[in-house]
Structure 1
Amino acid sequence: MTDLAILYEHPLWFEPLFAALDRRGVDFSRATPDGFWNPADQTAPGRVVFNRIAMSSFLRNDEHPIFDTMAMLDHWRRTGARVINGADVLAIDASKARQLSLIASLGLAIPETRVVHRAADVVAAAQTLRFPLVVKANIGGSGAGIIRFDSLDELRTAVADSGLPSSVDGVLLVQEYVPVRGGAITRIETLDRKFLYGIEVAGGGAFDLCPADACVVPGSGIKMAAVEPSQTLKDAAEAIARAVDLDVGGVEVMIDDRDGVARFYDINALSNFVAKPLETLGWDPHDRLVDYLIYRIGKAR
């Protein structure tokens, strides 16, 4: 058994992490969710298992590993492995509805939202909101599964023509469209439930604001810059991370241009960090992440 097993499915996203671990001489193995696992087997692939499965995995493979991974991580926890971003975290990551409920329970503002599991209920939900609005998949990734509607008639037509987005769990969110002040959102990354860094993300279209390395492609229009969030926003992000029991992850917030309210709208347990960190931040957060992983390995021995 290795000290550390990294569970992932994207072939490229975690090469910087692997390189950082190699530089520090950390004993680790690479694991994927493909193949099979035995629920009677009381061993895990590592003393510490670091979950890096992305919600956007369903975009790359119809036979995605999201729900299987929840069960597998829970199983490995039962065998005694220390799981980073474990099954409970993945369950929150896999449900925008649960994320918004958790955020609101902390007294933080969210976009006005209704949750449905039937297309037939979307129009009734929309009639309790202001237009324009968006209908979005409960499980999405990189802006997938979000459609804007500017009128009730337009929405009714989409329902009648089966033109709504779909979610792999069958759940949809009907949500007021929030005009973002300055056209930029703030992503606050946390490590061990504490503030790590903040970036401002702008451009790239209406809904696909994504700071991950894989989203930064020529012509994407996405622009990122380091930002120092207010202490209020930092405190809120840390409170969310503690409530989720989030080991590593990001929280996204936007300022509603209608009233100046900071509305938190996404918790992302897959942080593969900003592209070109030395250029954007002036330092590499992978070094801090490796420090944390070494600490967790020491606790697991």
Structure 2
Amino acid sequence: MSGKIYVIHENSEWTAHLAKRLDELGLPYEEWHLNEGTIDLSTIPPEGVFYSRMSASSHTRGHRFAPELTEAVLSWLERHGRNVINGNRALRLEVSKVNQYMALDAAGIRTPKTIAAVGKEQIIQAAKDAGLTSFITKHNRAGKGLGVQLFHSLKALQEYVYGPTFEPSIDGVTLIQEYIEAPAPYITRCEFVGGKFVYAVRVDTSEGFELCPADACTIDDLFCPVGEEQSEKPKFQIIEDFNDPIIEKYEAFLRQNNIQVAGIEFIYNQYGEIYTYDINTNTNYNSDAEALAGKYGMLELAKYLGSQLNVKSMTY
């Protein structure tokens, strides 16, 4: 076994579940909390496996520049040939939905019609240009459903954009996106570890679904996979024996983009067509759903990271 597992993140609450599994397996690890810090680019990184769980929503926890610091650290690690899980390519997709959609499009995976805009007048113009009866707004650097609003008219959008409740994206880019109306109030989230499919989760969106047809999380974490259940009916249910050709496409997509760990979300439209709308490279898992199904994402992740300790590090 060479070195240890280094977990790169900015939110200890989301990492505690992984740490517990690493402890259970007796694996050596260290957490790198990258809210603030320095990196001496002339030094050589330690040996080990480096797993990034950096989040696009870090700024909502007061960690505005954590992704930028993480990018610097990952560049340093990759330069020295370290075994990096979810490296800079994964981070680029994590912090930009535009990058996600372009990468998905390149892989032949259908996404909702989307226009990116910077500036309030441009947001309104983007909605006009889209020519959609119903559409949503969302932040380009998001997570937790940031900036998600549903509109059925340009007038309603104008009132929002020029009103007191408008919130700009942290990177300044707002997306106008096609509203995908599903025949049933749920979305599907597919989990992958080591680039391989683990399980799919059906997420009930009946409570507050009109806010967003394509985001399992709201700003207050009501639907967040690590949040509390809000009703007797489970929000998250693991689908037994889920099998769809989209899985092969997702696995190929992850290989093409050097992403090892991810949760990918999609929604069916009224014709049964799949629209993929979000990639989470710092994915979390719902413990209640896992207990019922007997499948445990963090355990699979911990096992995978342990297996990677035996992969010899190479230097460029």
Which segment is superposed worse, 175-184 or 208-217? 208-217
Q: Which residue of 2 aligns with 1:224?
A: 236
Give per-residue Cα distances to partners, 1:24-76, cap 9 Å, x unaligned.
21111111103422333423355211111222222111534122211221112
For residue 270 of structure 1, what is the amino acid of its counterpart?
A: N
5 Å matches for 1:62-211?
63-127=64-128, 128-161=130-163, 164-203=166-205, 204-206=207-209, 207=212, 209-210=216-217
5 Å matches for 1:225-240?
225-227=237-239, 228-240=241-253
Which segment is superposed worse, 217-226 or 117-126? 217-226
| Structure 2: gaps of 5 or more residues | 218-222
Cα separation, 1, equivalents of 2:66 and 2:169: 15
Cα separation, 1, equivalents of 2:24 and 2:287: 19
Cα separation, 1, equivalents of 2:234 and 2:107: 31
Number of residue pairs aligned between Structure 1 and Structure 2 = 300
> Does residue 41 of structure 2 align to residue 40 of structure 1?
yes
Cα separation, 2, equivalents of 1:130 and 1:73: 40
Cα separation, 1, equivalents of 2:44 and 2:186: 45
5 Å matches for 1:21-36?
21-36=22-37
> Does residue 257 of structure 2 align to residue 248 of structure 1?
no
Shift of the 182–30 alpha-carbon distance from structure 1 to 2, 3 Å rule, reads same
Displacement of 1:165 in angstroms is 3.4
Q: Which residue of 2 aligns with 1:215?
A: 227
Cα separation, 2, equivalents of 1:122 and 1:216: 34
Displacement of 1:135 in angstroms is 1.1
> Does residue 19 of structure 2 align to residue 18 of structure 1?
yes
Shift of the 190–263 alpha-carbon distance from structure 1 to 2, 3 Å rule, reads same
For residue 134 of structure 1, what is the amino acid of its counterpart?
A: I
| Structure 1: gaps of 5 or more residues | none
Q: Which residue of 2 aligns with 1:263?
A: 275
CA contact (8 A) 1:213 1:272 kept: yes
Give per-residue Cα distances to partners, 1:96-129, cap 9 Å, x unaligned.
1111111122222211111112222122221223
CA contact (8 A) 1:129 1:175 kept: no
Displacement of 1:172 in angstroms is 1.2
Q: Which residue of 2 aligns with 1:288?
A: 300
CA contact (8 A) 1:5 1:46 kept: no
CA contact (8 A) 1:111 1:263 kept: yes
Displacement of 1:269 in angstroms is 0.2
Cα separation, 2, equivalents of 1:88 and 1:162: 36
Cα separation, 2, equivalents of 1:72 and 1:33: 9
Give TM-score scaled by structure 1 length.
Answer: 0.91
Cα separation, 2, equivalents of 1:278 and 1:161: 42
Give TM-score scaled by structure 2 length.
Answer: 0.87
Displacement of 1:221 in angstroms is 7.4
Shift of the 205–44 alpha-carbon distance from structure 1 to 2, 3 Å rule, reads farther
Q: Which residue of 1 aligns with 2:220?
A: none
CA contact (8 A) 1:92 1:244 kept: no
CA contact (8 A) 1:212 1:273 kept: no
CA contact (8 A) 1:193 1:246 kept: yes
Greater relative contact order: 1 or 2 (C-alpha under 8 angstroms, separation 6 or more)?
A: 2
Cα separation, 2, equivalents of 1:166 and 1:248: 29
Displacement of 1:199 in angstroms is 0.6
Q: Which residue of 1 aligns with 2:62?
A: 61
Cα separation, 2, equivalents of 1:288 and 1:160: 47
Give per-residue Cα distances to partners, 1:135-158, cap 9 Å, x unaligned.
110011111211222101222233
Give per-residue Cα distances to partners, 1:197-226, cap 9 Å, x unaligned.
111001342335147542234459761111
Cα separation, 1, equivalents of 2:224 and 2:164: 31
Displacement of 1:193 in angstroms is 1.6
